[in-house]
Structure 1
Amino acid sequence: MFKKIKSDLPASVVVFFVALPLCLGIALASGAPLFSGLISGIVGGIVVGFLSGSQIGVSGPAAGLAAIVLTAITALGGWENFLVAVVLGGVIQIIFGVLRLGIIGYYFPSSVIKGMLTGIGIIIILKQIPYFFGIDKNPEGDFAFLQVDGENTLTELLKTLNALLSGNFDKGATLIALIAMGILILWSNVLSKKGKIFQLIQGPLVAVVVGILYFFFTNGSFLALSSEHLVSVPVPESLSDFKSQFAFPNFAVITRPDVLVTAFTIALVASLETLLCVEATDKIDPHKRVTPTNRELLAQGTGNVVSGLIGGLPITQVIVRSSANIQSGGQTKASAIIHGFFLLISVVTIPHILNYIPLSVLAAILFIVGYKLAKPSTFKAMYKGGWMQFVPFIVTVVGIVFTDLLKGISFGLAVGIFIVLYRSFKNSHFLHKEGEDIDDGKIKMTLAEEVTFFNKGAILKELDNLPENSFLELDVTKTKFLDNDIIEILEDFALKAKERNINIKLISERGIVENPPSYIDFFKLRSKAS
């Protein structure tokens, strides 16, 4: 597991700096104690990291669950009651894994998965713009279009634009963000190719260190950073104060129906988000490794049980941290595990130092992550793939940007299903004229291997469009399944054909029948014979 430590250690540092503000922000957006976000980040890194079969996935608190958590804490009567639902949700996920339900993730079209990655990349960029200029004070975990403060992504961007035009933005936050962005670009495009030292020490770590130094050197000047633009980690004053930040479930409410419903909701949503993230990270894994999805559900379920028992938020595998891991050169699960230990060690030993990290520097790091997920070349490639690939892709992207992750994926999946039905509608048969003379009246229709009720409209339309006094050759030799609805259409058409003087030759593996008197009887006999 630690054979690739030269690659995994620098990647774990990047993931740590990406995960830290997200853990805190998602906790804040969820209406939960800030420390609960750090607990779930630590458990997601260490516990899930060890148990998972994913080599590059990183788990922790997910923004997609923030709305559920926010509502449930109040509805269940408090944080300790909610933790019972987290524990039970983990148990249900373990049951999902035992029942081998991880296969569900493979039924999502690749166009939707690529749309999910691109949409998240765009969301990351849009959400970090206000932080880049030191304007927005909302929680970093608020990745939905509608935000907890009543604003949305577009209104926040408009506020940022107005602030920039009026000069009412934080100059210090903007300056250090630009410096950090320059360091990141210089490191990845130039210095990383100059020597091993620049590969071992990653650009994001240098950017964060420079950001901390900037805070101290500019303190008291007009370019100084205020505390509201810095990371905010809870700082315990003593060991007992640190222990008091942990919370424990109130198992007295374990039999309440509302607790059980919340637990199942958490298990279902967390499992779906995890399986989608697994599918997405496997696609961008340079080594194209395949994650065992049932094992992943078992790992996530165990992680949620542990997280709930000690006062943490629900856990899923998350695409922002996973993609940051991949793009920073992470090779094995060691990077996820080490990042979890970094979180644990830092909140115990140096929380006050972490509170000097500018949020605008972290925004610059996330800018790079978002761009790599939503490159213009991705849009170009999907467009060249044809409309059946591009439409579900773009619907997923727009849905994620303007609603949230699960709704956007649902929209893309719905369009994908519609396209499958459309293909089925179009591919039910092939119709062409015999010979070069298009007026000789000979027409041949060949049915596909499987023809279902989805194909009724297409077949009915073609049969109704046959001209009078024509000759139809209906070939069903390759047809293995013919829905009863289609047989009834053929039965009705036989009556119309007599009135319109259309002769029918039915070709099957049993032979040729001219104007069969009953299609229902014919296909019943054919079914028995086969």
Structure 2
Amino acid sequence: MKSQMDYYLKNLGQDVPASIVVFLVALPLCLGIALASGAPLFSGVIAGVIGGLVVAWASGSQLSVSGPAAGLTVIVFNAIEALGSFNGFLFSLVLAGGLQMLLGFLQAGLIGAFFPAAVIKGMLAAIGLILIIKQTPHATGYDASFDGDESYMQETAESSFFELLEALEGISLGATLVSGVALIILVIWDAPAIRRINWLRLVPGPLLAVVWGVLFNLWAVENAPAWAISERHLVALPDLGSLANFVGQLRFPDWSSVSNPKVYSVAVTLAIIASLETLLSLEAVDKLDPHKRVAPTNRELKAQGLGNLLSGLVGGLPLTAVIVRSSANINAGGQTRISCFLHGVLLLVSVLFFAEYLNKIPLACLAAILLQTGFKLAKPHLFIEFYRKGWNQFLPFVITVAAILLTDLLQGIAIGMAAGIFFVLRANFHEAITLTQHGQNYLLRMHKDVSFLNKALLRRHLSSIPDDSDLLIDGTKALFIDQDIQEAIADFLQAAPDRNVMVELQGFNVDNVAPGSGH
């Protein structure tokens, strides 16, 4: 224990500055993700605090940062709408946390390996497109149907598309200018020329975007009221001032929702998607870690489950391990879990004592940050990349994106998984057996495992062998040849002499197979 404490103290000089950078990145993201989720802004900060104070110590990763994730915004928004209240959603989150912990104890940390990369990338791209569609009204200051609770969005991106068109007709000049300049700042700050300057890398782009928005609006209120952003389009956190007031703002689960069957489907969806996003982020963080430490996946599921259970109990958003904040932590020189813990402390202090200043942040700034996040998830290069990989990768990717946009996240992923499995089987079907020709000589080669699924392909190849030819059937590369395949070959061997086809088997035999049973 002492050596571990010494290790943390030894790296404190790097972890403290890194925690400040992570805090500055996390604060606008916590608020922005709550905004996109149609949840109270305070809930995003609560999730960030729990991610720092609790999950940082429960996790086995030294560098991973946990908090509310953009990838869950669609689920949260739709769940709140379906369940009828945020408190009902909190009950689902408590159940989801318990389910994640159970997955950890059941050693399900390898679950992420069973989802094709095309489906996962398709899910993230669809989430990116939905973020872009649903954040445009905030970026333009759309006022036509704004109720003060982000309820202007419908359940799916399809219907939200029409809201987007309306938002472009109801533009507020001040909000549009703020979000437009904020986007320019974020793009410039991501440019390689800026990233190469070490001291500039320590200043997060989202912080600059927020500072710009606050300063512009303060100036506009005094000097150009027509360009000022109204209070309904500013962050609205309660001014707490003390820990007692903080506790008074907590929201609690609606336990009466236990009889609502939708609660359980939401809980399962949250547990699966949050676990997947966590495991994918954890894998990415391990690759970025300069010390090449590998975090235990099952422990991570337990830690995230504990975090979500606590977040649900006190009114927070779902949380996962998040790659944006984790990579900011690594880039800023973070070495241990102390940097993540301290970022949670800073989040707590900021809402306790500085809410007055946070409430000056225009929602258009947060929308710009989420628009950039959405673009990164769904950038055109990603579609081009999958197109170049071939139809077996491109079609499951596009089908997943389209299915999520037209239905919901869970149904879309299920459709994408079905498409992914189909193309895997299709590829295996065509690659398992090949037939090549050289004059009157034919080579039929079996690759890897050859199962009953390949029987139709085998028969098609065998039926294409002309009379008066020589055929070599090579099974040396096949690790397994199914009984059905052997029977089909035995049938062909019995009929081959009548067609003057000379057949040679290599790497296997069918002596113990009864001809005729393969029909």
**1:15 corresponds to:** 26
- Residue by residue over 1:202-248, the C-alpha shift from the partner in whole angstroms, topping out at 9 and shown as x without a partner, is 33323322322322222261111112211222345987664333345
Map of 1:43-442 to 2, 5 A cutoff? 43-54=50-61, 55-60=63-68, 62-66=72-76, 69-70=79-80, 73=83, 83=90, 85-135=92-142, 137=146, 147-148=154-155, 152-161=159-168, 163=169, 168-189=170-191, 192=194, 198-219=200-221, 221-235=225-239, 242-248=246-252, 262=263, 266-267=267-268, 269-280=270-281, 282-283=283-284, 287=288, 291-313=295-317, 315-317=318-320, 322-323=323-324, 325-326=326-327, 329=331, 332=334, 336-434=340-438, 438=439, 440=440, 442=441
Q: Secondary structure at the match of 1:519?
A: coil
Q: Distance in 2 between matches of 1:7 and 1:391?
A: 41
* 2:5 corresponding residue in structure 1: none
Q: TM-score, normalised by structure 1?
A: 0.78
CA RMSD of aligned residues (A): 3.9
Which amino acid in structure 2 is aligned with residue 107 of structure 1?
A: F
Write out per-residue CA displacement over residues 247-266 of structure 1, whole angstroms, 9 at most, x where no aligned residue. Answer: 45577x79x6767x845751
**Offset of residue 285 of structure 1:** 7.3
Paired residue secondary structure (1:410): helix
2: CA distance, partners of 1:141 / 1:396:
27
Residues 453-489 of structure 1: per-residue CA shift (max 9 Å, x gap): 2212211211122223433332334433222222332
Q: Which whole-Å CA distance do the structure 2 matches of 1:153 and 1:68 have between them?
A: 12
Compared with structure 1, are the counterparts of its residues 67 and 21 closer, same or farther at alpha carbon in structure 2 (3 Å cutoff)? closer
Which digits, 9 at most, give the CA deviation of each residue in 1:265-300, with x for residues without a partner?
515532333323431563487726654321221011
Distance 1:433 1:226, change over 3 A: same
2:138 and 2:434 mapped to 1: Cα distance?
A: 57
- Taking a change above 3 Å as real, the CA distance of residues 150 and 372 of structure 1, as seen in their structure-2 partners, is closer
* Cross-structure match for 1:526: none
In structure 2, stretches of 5+ residues that fail to align are 1-7
- The answer to whether the Cα contact below 8 Å between 2:112 and 2:280 also exists between their aligned partners in 1 is yes
Q: Is the 8 A contact 2:83 2:263 kept in 1?
A: no
3-state DSSP of counterpart to 1:222: helix
The Cα shift of 1:196 comes to 5.7
| Contact map agreement 1:424 1:454 (CA 8 A) in 2 | no
Contact 2:233–2:363 (8 Å) recurs in 1: yes
Structure 1 residues 306 and 147 mapped into 2: Cα distance closer, same or farther (>3 Å)? same
Q: Which range moves more in the overlay, 451-460 or 40-49?
A: 40-49
Residue number in structure 2 paired with 1:519? 513
Q: CA deviation at 1:70?
A: 2.7
Provide, for residues 39-65 of structure 1, a one-character-per-residue CA deviation record: whole Å limited to 9, x for no partner.
334223432233223434433273243
Q: Could you tell me which amino acid in structure 1 is paired with residue 116 of structure 2? A: P
Q: Which amino acid aligns with 2:166?
A: K
Shift of 1:310: 2.8
1: CA distance between counterparts of 2:185 and 2:338? 26
Q: Share of identical aligned residues, percent?
A: 35
**Offset at residue 17 of structure 1 (A):** 0.7
Query: CA, structure 1 residues 479+116, in 2 after alignment: closer, same or farther (shift >3 Å)?
Result: same
Is the CA contact (8 Å cut-off) linking 1:116 and 1:405 kept in structure 2? yes
User: Counterpart amino acid of 1:60?
Assistant: P
